Every structure is written in C-alpha cells, then in structure tokens.
Amino acid sequence: MTTARTPLMQEQRNRTASQILRCLLRNGPQGRKRLTAATGRSSTTVTKVINELLITGAVVESTPTPPRGAGRPEVPVELSPDRVVVGIHLYFNRITVSVHTLRGEELASVVHRQPLSADDPTKDFTSTVAGAAEIANELLAGVPGTPVGIGVATGGGWQGGDQTGANQWRIQEIEQILTPRMSAPVTVDTNVHALALEQHWWEHIDGDVLTLFVGRSIGIAHMRHDALQLGRFGRGGSIDHLIVPGATQPCSCGQCGCVEASCGNFALHSAAVRQGLLPPETPLLIMSGSPEERLPALEPLYLERALHLGRVLPAVIRMYEPELTIIRAAMNEAEWEACAGTALDRYRTITGTDTRIDSHTITSWPRASAALALDAWLNQPLGS
C-alpha cells in the first residue's frame, strides 16, 4: 500500500536530497555511510532518498573502492555525468548559450550576435526571447545529456539601444516566455546573482561573501554559505541610488551623486559625450568590454569611476560585514588599486579594522547563467 506524500514530507525529502547532492558536488563520490553522517539524517532515510535519486538519474553508483579490512566493498554514489545545466545570457547585442556538466565544465557553447531590439524593430521582445530558446534547444540537441535546469541571467535594460538609463527588469516575462519552450525548469535572475552562485558552486569561494557587479547598473549579491541572502527576480541587491560621498552628478531619480549616476556604464557614456570624448550617437556598448578594448581617451573616466566605487564601498560592506567582498568589473591595475586602496582606507577610518576585498574577472556569462540553474536544482532536486 502506498500513502500519499504530504507537502511537508516532500519538503523533507527534498532537503535531504539537496544535502546529499551538495555533499557530492563538494567532495566527489561518497559512500552511503559518509553521506548519512553529512546529512545528519537516519541511514534509512538517506538510503531511501539515494534510491530515489538513482531512479531519477541524478546520481549513479560508481566503482567500489576495495575494502581495507574484511567485508564487502562499499559502493559509492556520485553525481550523474550525463546530467547537464544550460546557461543563457541575454545582452542587448548578443545571446550566448552554453551547456555544462554539474561541475561547471563546458560541453558546448554558441554566441549569437544580433541586436535584440533597437536596430530591428520587427523583432519584439517575445520573439527575441523565444529565439534564445531555439538557440538553446539546438545546442542541447548536439550534446549528450539531460538538462536538469536552464539558467538565464540578464542585466537591467538589456533590450535597448534605449539609452534613457531606465533599467527594465523583465525577469518574470522572460521566465514565462521560456518555460513552455524548454524541457527543464527555467530560472531567470540578475547578472550579479548568477556571478555569486558561479563563484560559490564552481570556484569554491565559500563562506560569507558579498559580490558587487559593475556594468550598466551596479548590483550586489550576498551569499552566506550555500544560500543567496537577497530575494530572487532581481529584487534586492541594487545599490544604484546610494550616494557616493563627494559625487555631484545629477541622477534620473532627482538626487545628485547616486552610484548609478557616477559609476554605471550609462553614466560613463554620458560623461564622455559631455566632455566631447565621444559623439552622442556612439552606442552604449562602447563602455563595456575588457580594459584592453577601450578607447585610451576614456581612461580618466574609468579611473574616476574606480575612485567613486572605492568611496561608496565601505558603507555597503558595513551593511553586511561579509568575510570577503568580491568586485566583478572590467578594471585595469590602476583602477583596481584606486578602488581597493580608497575602500580599504575609508573602511579603516570608519571602523578601525580591516576588511578583505578581492577582484575577479568575468570569464563566461552563460556559465554564470548556468549556475542559476544548478542552484535552483540543488534547492529542490526531487521537484515540488
């Protein structure tokens, strides 16, 4: 006789499954005994949940290690090598998609360059996002493996040519368009959340970590151990309208000196146009890219931005007091020294103590996007 599972039972099974998968992701193949110890659940519960994960294909049994003493060898389980996660990154001039193993290794990737809306008015928002689904499904068809999730990261205002500075977070819309078109659950979130999860799951940056992403808008993500502390769907984590000490540039919100008005890519673009360094029709995209790709004439603006960031950072760090703050931005060495030097000095002045700040470059946007899918799957591996 089978009994129907209550939502509470399902939640508990998901929690145990989640603990098992996290343990396998961190430590590689493990025997049932060690997994039982790691979860703190009874061995009966752990065995049942492992059996369920074996049936769903999330884990597989691997080669037994020869026993040291007498007795049968224990058969370890490991993450299934043929489960994959897909990352889609939506940017205003390109869609990038990649497929990864559960450990983050890239199996395939594709870059689709096209203006998403500005230069092609026939392409509306829905057909553009649906196009991303097509690209992802085509890529998936050529890769062995079953997806456990599709992660989509996007920044504010990606759908433009629109240089009004207004950030459009159309995250829920994207989720609604993609969900019926994909064969696995879709998780859409902001660029900074994707970067924070990628660092955590695939680059082993553990503990209490604050991540700051500098692009068109400036966002933060706070990871404490395995959990993102700020809300999903791009809510929480924007510091666009905090005031940078000493900054005076008017902001779209009516204040002066906001982070957005002094540090965002749009702010830099406006400043370059104002100072006659760029013709007004230059696309905003010119502000993105690596330090090597930049126009040398714009260097002083980037350096000033680094100083602004350094001035506002200590107040942000004080709010969370993380063990480590990581800046994800395209900065050269001079900018990094200006930013970190200013931030560390000011933090010491305010608190009398030191803090840790580090910088990491961004290597693959779709990989960060795929980490959103991995995290969503790890949180609910047996479904709802």
**Burial letters 87-117, b for 16+ CB under 10 A, else e:** bbbbbbbebbbbbbbbebeebeeeeeeebbb
Min separation Cβ 285 and Zn ion, Å? 23
Pick 145 or 165: Cβ nearer Zn ion: 165
Strand 357-360 vs strand 324-328: parallel, antiparallel, or unpaired? parallel
Pick 151 or 264: Cβ nearer Zn ion: 264
Min separation Cβ 282 and Zn ion, Å? 24
Min separation Cβ 257 and Zn ion, Å? 8
- Look up tokens 């040291």; give the residue: 68
Min separation Cβ 319 and Zn ion, Å? 18
d(CA 338, CA 305): 9
Pick 87 or 234: Cβ nearer Zn ion: 234
d(CA 93, CA 216): 14
Min separation Cβ 255 and Zn ion, Å? 5
Min separation Cβ 264 and Zn ion, Å? 10
Give how far the C-alpha of residue 338 lies from the chain's centroid of Cα atoms, to the nearest Å: 26
Min separation Cβ 27 and Zn ion, Å? 45
Return the bridge partners of 30, or none.
Answer: 77
Pick 45 or 255: Cβ nearer Zn ion: 255
Give how far the C-alpha of residue 42 lies from the chain's centroid of Cα atoms, to the nearest Å: 34
Pick 251 or 312: Cβ nearer Zn ion: 251
Pick 194 or 243: Cβ nearer Zn ion: 243
Q: How many residues bind Zn ion (CB under 5 A)?
A: 5
- The first and second tokens of residue 300, run together, are 């002083």
Q: 3-state class of 175 per DSSP?
A: helix
The 241-260 contact track toward Zn ion, x by CB under 5 A, reads x---------x-x-x--x--
Cβ-proximal residues to 97 (8 Å cutoff; 6+ apart), any chain: 86, 87, 88, 89, 109, 110, 112, 132, 135, 136, 139, 366
Min separation Cβ 191 and Zn ion, Å? 20
The piece of 24-32, 79-87, 236-244, 265-273 that touches Zn ion (CB under 5 A) is 236-244
The piece of 151-159, 173-181, 237-245, 362-370 that touches Zn ion (CB under 5 A) is 237-245
Pick 109 or 255: Cβ nearer Zn ion: 255
The 51-90 contact track toward Zn ion, x by CB under 5 A, reads ----------------------------------------
Q: 3-state class of 195 per DSSP?
A: helix
Pick 95 or 309: Cβ nearer Zn ion: 309
Pick 97 or 258: Cβ nearer Zn ion: 258
- The first and second tokens of residue 170, run together, are 């159309």
- Asked if 312 touches Zn ion (CB under 5 A), the answer is no
Task: Please write down the long-range contacts of 284-290, taking CB distance under 8 Å and 24 or more positions apart.
Answer: 284/92, 284/163, 284/216, 285/92, 285/93, 288/215, 288/330, 289/330, 290/330, 290/361
Cβ-proximal residues to 354 (8 Å cutoff; 6+ apart), any chain: 344, 347, 348
Rg (CA), the chain: 23
Listed residue (363, 278, 379) closest to 106, CA to CA: 363
Min separation Cβ 252 and Zn ion, Å? 6
Q: Which positions touch Zn ion (CB under 5 A)? A: 241, 251, 253, 255, 258
